[in-house]
């Protein structure tokens, strides 16, 4: 058995590949929860242990994107080696149903069974305790896995975690879309393909261009809204869904404080939502609190965590305006005696 030659950090990322797992191990739900939407660290505070500081530092908004592997004790097994050798700086490819469904950058590795159990629970008495903290997550469409797997694992499927050198990774790079459409705030990497941080341009002053509205929902395709929607690859920041059309996926740019209510047309006031969540938000069926938790507009019950990329700061004042508009908070720009929409007129 040969030991893989590890890449030196200057030669490009090595590659970790993981199966997402099927429904019997809650693979789709876990993928959605901890990679696509991210988990609120505050909900697992009791289990962060020695990793609390580094995780809070990596995810200043408190939403961590995590994946994990169950233990493997077979000496020399590919998975045992991958667990031992995985490290920050590696790329992660996620495999499911004959496709590569996501790519991410591993920013930290930790072995923390209590945290894994708190986030994902157990499977057959084990948990996914060999955790990888992720960033620069890209959800991929239509990337067939067969060529990649045949080349790198000599099989048509992926059963468990494996790790490959940067050279092997590079040998299959042409089978993947160009890398890095998303880059987090605070980390700079020179390169032509890196967009500026969302919202880095100044908030526009003066009146916003208006178009006549027929419904409550304002669907607009300004350059800024398009940037936000592209940034999230049309994945709804609330429910994680991506609306399909005949030509690909789409989404709506939602203004947290409506343009009609003098909300700015600026990334800090724009979310990437699906039509369903956008309608609910604009109608007050849901609102977002200052911890970016999505709550029911009628019961206040927590429903989801808003998925927010670190490159996309959201101005909480606009969320507060929206809550005040529906009588759920106060805001200097909202008359507190105003009738809540839908309430009977006296
Ligand atoms: Zn949605």
**What is the residue range of 294's domain?**
223-325
My answer on whether 21 and 152 are in the same domain is: yes
Domain count, the chain: 2
Residue 4 lies in a domain: no
pLDDT at position 79 is 94
- Ligand 1 centroid–CA 51 distance in Å is 32
My answer on whether 149 and 268 are in the same domain is: no
pLDDT at position 221 is 52
pLDDT at position 205 is 54
CATH of the domain at 35: 3.10.590.10
My answer on whether 171 and 250 are in the same domain is: no
My answer on whether 28 and 100 are in the same domain is: yes
- Ligand 1 centroid–CA 44 distance in Å is 25
What are 167-213's pLDDT values in tens digits? 899 899 888 887 543 333 333 332 323 345 676 666 655 444 333 23
Q: Burial letters for 219-255: b for 16+ Cβ neighbours within 10 Å, e otherwise?
A: ebebebbebbbebbbbbbbbbbbbbeeeeebebbbbb
The DSSP result for 99-164, as a single string, is: EEEEEEEEEEEEE-HHHHHHHH--BTTB---EEEEEEEEEE-SS-BSHHHHHHHTSSSS--S-EEE
- Ligand 1 centroid–CA 242 distance in Å is 8
How is residue 222 written in tokens? 């300004």
Residue 202 lies in a domain: no
- Ligand 1 centroid–CA 200 distance in Å is 25
Residue 107 lies in a domain: yes
- Ligand 1 centroid–CA 208 distance in Å is 26
- Report residues of the chain scoring pLDDT below 50: 1-10, 180-195, 206-220, 345-346
- Ligand 1 centroid–CA 132 distance in Å is 26
Residue 164 lies in a domain: yes
Picking from 175, 192, 211, the residue at the C-terminal end of a domain is 175
My answer on whether 159 and 20 are in the same domain is: yes
Residue 159 lies in a domain: yes
- Ligand 1 centroid–CA 275 distance in Å is 7
| Sheet with strand 293-296: strands edge to edge | 286-288, 293-296, 302-305
- Ligand 1 centroid–CA 262 distance in Å is 24
My answer on whether 117 and 238 are in the same domain is: no
- Ligand 1 centroid–CA 35 distance in Å is 16
- Ligand 1 centroid–CA 135 distance in Å is 22
How is residue 155 written in tokens? 């099989």
My answer on whether 15 and 135 are in the same domain is: yes
My answer on whether 97 and 170 are in the same domain is: yes
Residue 303 phi, psi dihedral angles, 5° rounding? -115, -45
My answer on whether 130 and 275 are in the same domain is: no
pLDDT at position 342 is 54
- Ligand 1 centroid–CA 306 distance in Å is 10
Q: Are 119 and 44 in contact (CB under 8 A)?
A: yes
- Ligand 1 centroid–CA 235 distance in Å is 8
pLDDT at position 202 is 63
pLDDT at position 6 is 38
Q: Are 319 and 254 in contact (CB under 8 A)?
A: no
- Looking at the DSSP assignment, which residues form a beta bridge with residue 253? 272
Nearest to 232 by CA among 257, 250, 217: 250
The residues placing their C-beta within 5 Å of ligand 1, an ion, are: 236, 238-239, 274, 277
């Amino acid at each position: 058995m040969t030991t893989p030659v590890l890449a030196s950090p200057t030669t490009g990322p090595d590659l970790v590949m993981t199966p997402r797992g099927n429904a019997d191990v809650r693979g789709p739900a876990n993928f959605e929860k901890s990679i696509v939407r991210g988990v609120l660290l505050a909900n697992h505070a009791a289990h962060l242990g020695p990793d609390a500081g580094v995780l809070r530092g990596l995810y200043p908004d408190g939403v961590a994107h995590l994946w994990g592997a169950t233990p493997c004790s077979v000496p020399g097994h590919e998975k045992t080696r991958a667990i031992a050798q995985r490290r920050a700086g590696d790329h992660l490819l996620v495999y499911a149903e004959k496709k590569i469904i996501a790519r991410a950058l591993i920013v930290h590795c930790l072995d923390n069974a209590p945290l894994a159990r708190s986030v994902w629970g157990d499977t057959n008495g084990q948990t996914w305790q060999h955790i990888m903290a992720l960033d620069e997550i890209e959800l991929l469409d239509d990337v067939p896995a067969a060529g990649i797997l045949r080349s790198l694992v000599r099989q048509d499927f992926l059963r468990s975690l494996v790790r490959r050198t940067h050279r092997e990774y590079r040998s299959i790079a042409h089978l993947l879309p160009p890398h890095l459409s998303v880059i987090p705030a605070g980390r700079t990497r020179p390169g032509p393909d890196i967009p500026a941080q969302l919202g880095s341009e100044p908030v526009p002053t003066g009146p916003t261009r208006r178009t006549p509205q027929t419904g409550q929902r304002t669907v607009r395709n300004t350059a800024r809204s398009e940037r936000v929607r592209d940034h999230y690859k049309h994945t709804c920041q609330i429910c994680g869904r991506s609306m399909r059309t005949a030509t690909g996926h789409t989404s709506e740019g939602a203004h947290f404080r409506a343009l009609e209510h003098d909300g700015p047309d600026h990334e800090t006031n724009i979310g990437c939502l699906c039509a369903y969540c956008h309608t609910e938000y604009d109608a007050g069926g849901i609102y977002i609190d200052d911890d970016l938790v999505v709550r029911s507009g009628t019961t206040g019950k927590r429903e989801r965590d808003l998925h927010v990329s670190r490159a996309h700061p959201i101005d909480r004042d606009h969320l507060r305006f929206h809550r005040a508009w529906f009588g759920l908070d106060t805001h200097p720009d909202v008359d507190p005696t105003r009738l809540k929409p839908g309430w009977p007129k006296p």
